[in-house]
Structure 1
């Protein structure tokens, strides 16, 4: 009898934990744990990826470009792209604070589904290769699926695989059950507006080929002191305790090697930020080693990095904050990319 009782209580406790965890899988409950648009961006990009795969037969009428980047490649205007480049269908799978592992996940899904882009535009930047970044609580929490993680477990390593499994098994690992915070969010007078913004963001991403809905749209920061301040803040956030991530370098090389093997055209770009941010970044001790290593891997795979700060075809003097260009600069960015495309791959058309 005592033995049965000994087994009964742990099982009851486990069942109780499981039932409580199920509550935190309800979308509205998840929303109350934190008013944050990060999850909806990843959800929308995952749904967009499935939409592209399901509609792959309709992609044969135009050239297909797939953009893999961070928030710095997120805010192209879908309607402008259609007007300026009618021969291209341009899908944007970028999201905030991303890494080569996230790019490889999206690209693997497309290629395994038989979708061969005419051009893969991929961002690279030193902060994406930081071992001490927020990779775990962003990419690893809100993207990937179990088959992909298992297939690439040797690259992820046991720590990341365990973290991923924990987050998938228990929702409370991601959506913390802090009842006081949930109550404050529930009674927040702006809750309805946030829910509306969340749905608007999701719908915009799905309907506009993945190009993001900018919260500040065409805003331009004109105060140089503010640009300087946000540059310092961004650098401190992204580059704190910087250590090169062997995992991210491995994923980066994996992407370029597969693109080369399958003869898919690619352009890797290193975007620019405000002059304040670029000046700070240029003095960071990790920059020379990162640039040398990325250049080596890129050149070996026939996809040299297009460094926009050195590209005469690109110009931008308008910034939303220290780390991001304003929306109007995206015209110049895409123009520089497609000029590079024709220079490398179709020089006769220049």
Structure 2
């Protein structure tokens, strides 16, 4: 029988690719490797914790912390109304697709460093509670959850996401979410140094203040543009909806901590564009998700605030995010009715 070495070519190719992939296990790709968007935010939130710990005003003034997803990016110290602003400092730890697991891990990390806030704003979105949408958990598991964190949340991760997590460790390039087009662009322009925070303009913009990101929703876009975006994200997030079991325990853990430490807490449901809210109505999100959240929060002594009601600000950056212009009056409402009450 004649030798057929070509039969081994696919195996050799696979082994070669597998070995090349291990390059992405090097610390340089995990300690500080800023691409765009998600990776910049998740890295900055770690830096922000250290800044908070070393900030003397956090000890001299009353401290407010914000946790949530991109819908709460614009919560900012500058929005605290006068004369209350002189007595407060605010740090915003909202993260891209910031699920409650992520909020708890960040909150615990801050507490373990000896910083206890006076007021916590916990912003929640119903999309984060649908376990069938695995891409919602992905940014946190890949960029916001170390080995200690994984041990804490592992039992609550859906089976499908556990499988993806295992694949991320078999094929390292998955966990890095390597953006080849961005790498090629930076290489051509001689800007590979932008993978480091000291040369990354996006990081510098986010890191300029205390975590808020006003630029994300600074404008109020035309209705037609927002309606088109409604169809896009409606198809992405709300083709179906079912409240899963992975996130609610982490909301309760946060509430339990704030109750034990006597920290004032406000749980917020941010407003979305009315036509996108119609998807919520289709799946009875208010009844199956928000009302249980309200009941849970109140059982721990926390306040709740639903902005998806008539009479609240109707300016939007896109279907999922209000304009930052809304947050001037909203911050005033929060401080006068909840933080200072």
- The TM-score by the shorter chain falls in which range? 0.7 to 0.9
* Matches for 1:197-208 after TM superposition, within 5 Å: 199-208=200-209
- In structure 2, the partner of 1:331 is 328
SS at match of 1:75: coil
1:340 maps to 337
From the superposition, tell whether residues 183 and 153 of structure 1 become closer, same or farther in structure 2 (CA, over 3 Å).
closer
Moved more, 319-328 or 190-199: 190-199
Is residue 65–residue 119 contact of structure 1 (8 Å, CA) maintained in 2? yes
- Aligned counterpart, 2:116: 116
Contact 2:33–2:195 at 8 Å: present in 1 too? Answer: no
Other-structure match for 1:144: 145
Contiguous gaps of at least 5 residues in structure 1: 1-8
Q: How does 1:116-265 map to 2 (within 5 A)?
A: 116-133=116-133, 134-156=135-157, 160=161, 163-164=164-165, 167=168, 171-175=172-176, 181=181, 184-185=184-185, 199-212=200-213, 214-215=215-216, 218-222=218-222, 224-265=223-264
Contact 2:100 2:247 in 1 (8 A): yes
Q: Aligned residues, how many?
A: 325
Distance 1:204 1:83, change over 3 A: farther
Per the normalisation by structure 2, the TM-score is 0.80
The one-character-per-residue Cα deviations of 1:223-267 (angstroms, maximum 9, x if unpaired) are x22222212222222224423220101111111122112221100
- Judged with a 3 Å threshold, the aligned counterparts in structure 2 of structure 1 residues 20 and 218 are, in CA distance, closer, same or farther, namely closer
Counterparts of 1:238 and 1:103, CA distance in 2: 21
Moved more, 227-236 or 97-106: 227-236
The answer for the alignment partner of 2:9 in structure 1 is none
Residue 182 of structure 1 deviates from its aligned partner by: 6.8
Structure 1's 325 and 86: CA in aligned 2 closer, same or farther, altered over 3 A? same
Contact 1:64 1:117 in 2 (8 A): yes
Native 8 Å contact 1:75 1:330 kept in 2: yes
After TM superposition, the structure 1 stretch with the greater mean CA deviation from structure 2, 39-48 or 68-77, is 68-77
Query: Which runs of 5 or more residues in structure 2 are unaligned?
Result: 1-11
SS class of match (1:91):
strand
What CA distance in whole angstroms lies between the structure 1 residues aligned with 2:113 and 2:170? 27
SS at match of 2:317: strand
CA contact (8 A) 2:71 2:270 kept: yes
> Compared with structure 1, are the counterparts of its residues 277 and 62 closer, same or farther at alpha carbon in structure 2 (3 Å cutoff)?
same
- Give RMSD over aligned pairs: 3.7
Contact between 2:124 and 2:267, CA under 8 Å: does it hold in 1? yes
User: Structure 1 residues 61 and 235, CA, compared in 2 at 3 Å: closer, same or farther?
Assistant: same
Provide the TM-score with structure 1 as the length reference: 0.78
CA 57–327 in structure 1, closer or farther in 2 if over 3 Å, else same: closer
